[in-house]
Every structure is written in structure tokens, then in C-alpha cells.
Structure 1
Amino acid sequence: MSDLPILGAAMTLKDVELNRDWLLEKPRDLELQDFVPAEVLCGDWQPLVERAKQLLDGHQGRLGMHGPFMGLNIASADPDVRALVARRMEQALDVAAALNITQIVIHSPYTTWMHNNLDNWPEQRQRVLEMTHQTLDAAVKRAENQGCVFVLENIEDKDPADRRRLVESFNSRAFALSIDTGHAAYATGSTGAPPVDYFANDAGNLLQHVHLQDADGYADRHWPVGHGSINWRAFFARLAGITSNPRLIIEIRDKSQIKASAAYLANLGLAQ
């Protein structure tokens, strides 16, 4: 068997139905995206769990989920907002326990505005860490006991080191890094962030998850891989030096192009 990394994908259960043969042909990792909305987490999600168990019969890859993020800020200055975010994380962990999910993707608190202002007020950098800990400490501890890992995805992050230091501050096997290639490309093209491969270089072995999507450096495109301007050879060269075995998750808008995206990277000799 090839030593090239095996690609997975982010999908809803509806998308799994369309791509099930591809998903099951190898031990491909899957990131479920049905449990993001608050309406789902606050409602009866058990039927979705039962449907997932049926569709994933025979699945040999690792199973993850995208956690809640819409309208949420894990480093909010408002204690009531922090309490709400903490509740959503507990709900996500409930779903993870029901499906034996071992990874939950959540969003970074760092913004472009924050990058330019972190040193504009005394102790602002430390304050971001403290508020994040107040939001997530209990969830991260529960994740440790549950055998699950939260991975922190870059959104507007301009300096990948900020997010890395935040993860390091938890000193927990249940908190690691994620890279979204399209988000990094946006930051490179629109805010002057370093190139996408530099994000992987900074993450090192704290990296346990990657969203693979293509973009043009202007917006969060979620184009099929090969349709944008990302230097995939450079990015995968950085990944080759990382031994933490991150999940490589194709996350594109048009789910009918998942197989084509995987084929593009396979034809470059980068993955399978």
C-alpha cells in the first residue's frame, strides 16, 4: 500500500449517502457537519445519530464532527456569552459520546482587528487566553476523559503563533491545532499573513486536523482542490515533516467534487 496520506472529507449525512463508496474504499476519515446548528444541538438529535450509525457501518476511518461556531466566540468578554459557548461545547460532547466521535472542530477567537490591537492594551494577549480558558476548561477536561480532542481552526488568524500559544496554554492531549487552507489563503492574500505552508510549519506536531479547500486569497471560497491558487506541493511538503498524523479533510462547498479533489491531489502524488 502507498505510504501517501489517505484523504477524508467533511460531509453531512446526506452527502455521505452520495459519497459512501469513496468513503468506505479506504480507511478515510470523516468529519460530520450535521451537528453545527444550535437548533440541532438543542433539539432531538438522536435520529441523526441512528442514521449515522447505519450509513457508517463498515467505515474504518476516524470519525470527527464540526462543533458549534455560528454566533459564538470562545474568548468573549461577556460572561453570559462564555457560559452559552460552554453549554454548546457540552452538547457537542454529548453527541460525540453517542457516536464515539474522537475529534471536534471549533473556531479560533483571533481576528484581523485583534492582531493589530493585541499589544495596544496592557495584558490583552493574556486576557484572550484567560477568557478562552474560562469558556473551555471544563469541556477540555471532559474531552480528556471521553477520549476526544478539540481542534482549533484558524479563521481570520494572521499570525499562526497566536493560536498555537493558546493551544499550548491548555497543556492537554484533548486540545490541538487545525488548519483550514482556504482561511489561511484568505489571510495571506487579504491581510498579509504568511503563506499557507507556513501555518503548517508553525503548528508542527500540535497539528491534528486540516481542512483542505482551495481559494484565491480574497474570500473563503471552499472551491474544489485545484480550482484556486494554493501551492499544494509546498503545503504537503510541510505536512511530510509532521508526525502527529493529522486528519486531512476535504471541506468544499460542492460535495459532488470531493472525489475530483482527491483525484487532483493523487495525480500530484501528494495523497490517496
Structure 2
Amino acid sequence: MSNTPTLPLLGACLNVEDLPDHRDWLLEQPRDLELQDFCRTEVLDSDWRARCARAKSLLEGHKGRLGIHGPFWGFTIASKDPEIRAVVRRRLDQGLDACAELGATMMVVHSPYTTWGYNNLGHDQAARQQVLDLSHDTMGAAVRRAESLGVVLVIENIEDKDPMERVLLARSFASAHVRVSVDTGHANYAHGSTGAPPVDHYITAAGDLLDHIHLQDTDGYGDRHWVPGEGNIPWPAVFRAIAGVMAAHGTTPRLKLELKENARIREGAAFLTAAGLAR
């Protein structure tokens, strides 16, 4: 691929405290941004509005799309325990509160699918349907509120071994405000450690529902969040798949570098830019 303006534009996942260091890069082009502060319970249960005000001040002039990583620690959206589902509904609502305050248009939600589930749901169709039913029970109100706020909920692969499971889950909501996220590192972990398909297959499987991508490199063993080029992800294949989905469906998914070391965001962007894959 040549480095032309038609290449996908890179954005980043950052905390509010990181914004001063990356403000110029975020504003030089309309780069998409995902604020990750609001996935943490200690933020949601504190004065998070002050954090939003700080973010909006630092992002004055930002033209890219703004999103957040929603809460996920300690739960699944398909819990069988009704009391846990009630807690999850409240956490999702808190995340949407932050979206409303920030003017964010996207929130990441974690997939309920696991390696254990892959090996067991196949012989129990009732259990597979139960995952859908429980997810709808948990997220139904959040989906309706997201629609009213203009927020898209994107379901991110975590342990997912079958790239299609959460695509079908997202489609089952029959809402333009529930779509799919692909985390390249999670997909590469599943490929290397559980025998899942390679990363580009996750991109292609998402098809017209692909709305968001976390870009991070791994060794296929753990969730490393390394700078692209430090692991073994075949980035040309990944970006060919992204280009194929964009061309086939006329979509522009948000591409965010999600790294362990936020100070190295521009290093990761420079690697992908130098490779002629993105800008």
C-alpha cells in the first residue's frame, strides 16, 4: 500500500491525563480518540464530571470522533445472576452518562464469549440462545438510551475464538447503534493460544458491522498491548482486510492505537505510516 490520503487515519486510546502530550497530534488531522478513564469504577463513582470538563478543555478544536471505553471490570454482560445484571445495567448507564457529558458518540462494551463457551456452547443450543437472551436483558435499556444519545455501542472481542459469535450478537439487537469492535491483540492471542482464526479473519467477519478497531501488537500468548512491529501480527494482512471491509461497505471504522505505554502512541503510528498502511 502506498501512503496516500485515502489510507485509514489513525487515532488513539488515551486517558485524560495523557491529552496534553498528544494534543498537537490529535488536532493535526481529525484523529479519532477513545478516552479510557471511564471504564474504571473509581472514576465512575467519583467526580467524573470534572474529568469530562478537563477533557473538553484540552480537546478544544478537536475534529475527530470521540468515544469512551465503557466499564467492564469484574462482570460479563451475560451473567446468569440477576443481581449482577442489575449492577451491569447501572455501570453501562454511568458510561452513557459520561458520553452525554462529553458529547462522545461511541462506547466500547466487552464480549461475553469465552474459550470455555466455544468448547461447550456448540453442543447445547439452549445455552447459546441463553447468552443472547441474557445479553439483551442486560443491555436492552442501554441500547435504547444509546439510540437517543446518538451513541454506538461496539462489542469488543476478548476471549472470542469464533469471530462470528459477537457479530451475530450485535446483529440480534437490530439497531444501528450496536456494532462490532475488533481488538487485534485479543484476536492474535486467541489465534496463537486457542487455535482461533488469524487476526484478519476477525476484521472480515465483522463486515458491515465493523465500527471500531483497537490496534495493538502481541506475541500470540498474552494481551501485550505492544507497539505495532514488536509482536508477530501480520499488519499488511490486517490492513488489507480493513481496506476490503471499507470498500465493500462504504464504512469508516475508528482505528485506535491502544498501547500499554501511551507515551509511545506516536511511535506506533509512525511504524504503520512508514509501512504505507495508514496515516
Fold conserved (TM > 0.5)? Answer: yes
Cα shift at 1:40: 1.4
> Which amino acid letter does the alignment assign opposite residue 271 of structure 1?
A
Task: Provide the rounded CA distance (Å) in 2 between the counterparts of 1:87 and 1:109.
Answer: 17
Secondary structure at the counterpart of residue 35 of structure 1: helix
Aligned residue number for residue 139 of structure 1: 142
Aligned residue number for residue 19 of structure 2: 16
Aligned residue number for residue 43 of structure 2: 40
2:105 matches 1:92: no
Question: For residues 75-127 of structure 1, what are the alpha-carbon distances to aligned partners after superposition, in whole Å with 9 as ceiling and x for unaligned?
Answer: 00000011110110111111100110000001000000010000233411100
2:158 matches 1:155: yes
Aligned residue number for residue 245 of structure 1: 252
2:267 matches 1:260: yes
Task: Provide the rounded CA distance (Å) in 2 between the counterparts of 1:183 and 1:220.
Answer: 6
Secondary structure at the counterpart of residue 16 of structure 1: helix
Question: For residues 151-196 of structure 1, what are the alpha-carbon distances to aligned partners after superposition, in whole Å with 9 as ceiling and x for unaligned?
Answer: 0000000001111110110010110000000000000000000000
Off by >2 Å, runs of 4+ in structure 1: 119-122
Secondary structure at the counterpart of residue 185 of structure 1: helix
Task: Provide the rounded CA distance (Å) in 2 between the counterparts of 1:119 and 1:236.
Answer: 31
Two-structure CA RMSD over aligned residues (Å): 0.9
Task: Provide the rounded CA distance (Å) in 1 between the counterparts of 2:52 and 2:22.
Answer: 18
2:125 matches 1:118: no
Task: Provide the rounded CA distance (Å) in 2 between the counterparts of 1:136 and 1:30.
Answer: 24
Q: 2:181 aligns with which of 178, 183, 186?
A: 178
2:207 matches 1:204: yes
Cα shift at 1:257: 1.1
Task: Provide the rounded CA distance (Å) in 2 between the counterparts of 1:244 and 1:74.
Answer: 27
Identify the range of structure 1 (237-246 vs 180-189) with the bigger mean alpha-carbon deviation. Answer: 237-246
1:56-135 matched pairs, under 5 angstroms = 56-135=59-138
Secondary structure at the counterpart of residue 37 of structure 2: coil
Count of residues in Structure 1 that have an aligned counterpart in Structure 2: 272
2:172 matches 1:165: no
Task: Provide the rounded CA distance (Å) in 2 between the counterparts of 1:205 and 1:258.
Answer: 28
Cα shift at 1:231: 0.5
Secondary structure at the counterpart of residue 160 of structure 1: coil
Task: Provide the rounded CA distance (Å) in 2 between the counterparts of 1:37 and 1:251.
Answer: 16
Task: Provide the rounded CA distance (Å) in 1 between the counterparts of 2:5 and 2:49.
Answer: 38
> Which amino acid letter does the alignment assign opposite residue 264 of structure 1?
F
> Which amino acid letter does the alignment assign opposite residue 114 of structure 1?
G
Secondary structure at the counterpart of residue 118 of structure 2: helix
- Segments of structure 2 that go 5 or more residues without pairing to the other structure are none
Cα shift at 1:142: 0.7
Cα shift at 1:42: 2.0
Task: Provide the rounded CA distance (Å) in 1 between the counterparts of 2:275 and 2:208.
Answer: 24
Aligned residue number for residue 49 of structure 1: 52
Task: Provide the rounded CA distance (Å) in 2 between the counterparts of 1:174 and 1:267.
Answer: 34
Secondary structure at the counterpart of residue 255 of structure 2: strand
Identity %: 55
Task: Provide the rounded CA distance (Å) in 2 between the counterparts of 1:58 and 1:119.
Answer: 50
> Which amino acid letter does the alignment assign opposite residue 80 of structure 2?
A
TM-score, structure 2 normalization: 0.96
TM-score, structure 1 normalization: 0.98
